[in-house]
Structures are given as structure tokens and as C-alpha cells.
């Protein structure tokens, strides 16, 4: 429910694969194969960059995320839910 509401308010990049219903890697790999095949066929130079942003929510200030939601006009109830998800987070490992 939260994802659906946030998606309506904040446009998601079509290449986004996290937190959405999508095939993900297989679709991206197929796209890469098509681009490489086209470049070979047309004898074009091709540069490819892979970007993996590691743990963006661990390195982004939680208050910055909340401020962004407020600026986007997200429903206050949804903002409260997001705040609660970040409250008193503890990880245990054995």
C-alpha cells in the first residue's frame, strides 16, 4: 500500500528494479544484449557503465527522505508510516 501511494506521488525511473513488481535482472540483461547486438550490426562504438548504488537508504539521512516526501506533497499518514519504519531500527546477528 505504501509503495502504491508513493509511486503515485513520486515518479519512478522505468529502469528501477528494487521495491517494484518486475522481472529485474533478466529484463536488464536482455536490454544490454540488444544494445550490444545493435552496436555490432551498425559498427558503432559502444560504452557501457554499470552503476550499483550500495545501500542508499543506509547512507541517506532519514530526515532528508522525510523532507523530500513532504516537498512532494505525500499524504501525512504515509509520511508517518515511513518515519515509523526508520524509528528504533536495530539489527542483531548471531
pTM, whole model, 2 decimals?
Answer: 0.47
The confidence score (pLDDT) of residue 31 equals: 84
Structural domain including 85 reads: 52-93
Total domains in the chain come to 2
Same domain flag for 89 and 65: yes
Same domain flag for 40 and 1: yes
The confidence score (pLDDT) of residue 15 equals: 65
- pLDDT tens for each residue of 45-88: 998 877 665 666 566 788 888 898 899 888 898 889 888 888 88
Least confident of 4-18, 21-35, 59-73: 4-18
The confidence score (pLDDT) of residue 21 equals: 66
Sequential DSSP letters for the chain: -HHHHHHHHSPPPTT--TTSSS-THHHHHHHHHHHHHHHHHHT------------HHHHS-HHHHHHHHHHTT--HHHHHHHHHHHTT------
pLDDT: which is higher, 9 or 61: 61
Same domain flag for 3 and 18: yes
Cα separations in angstroms, 17 against 12, 37, 51, 83: 10, 23, 13, 23
Amino acid at each position: 500500500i505504501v509503495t502504491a501511494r508513493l509511486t503515485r506521488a513520486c515518479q519512478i525511473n522505468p529502469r528501477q528494479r528494487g521495491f517494484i513488481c518486475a522481472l529485474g535482472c533478466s529484463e536488464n540483461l536482455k536490454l544490454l544484449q540488444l544494445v550490444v547486438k545493435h552496436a555490432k550490426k551498425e559498427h558503432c562504438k559502444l560504452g557501457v557503465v554499470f552503476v550499483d548504488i550500495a545501500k542508499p537508504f543506509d547512507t541517506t539521512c532519514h530526515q532528508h527522505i522525510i523532507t523530500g516526501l513532504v516537498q512532494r506533497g505525500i499524504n501525512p499518514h504515509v509520511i508517518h508510516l515511513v518515519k515509523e519504519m526508520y524509528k528504533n531500527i536495530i539489527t542483531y546477528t548471531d
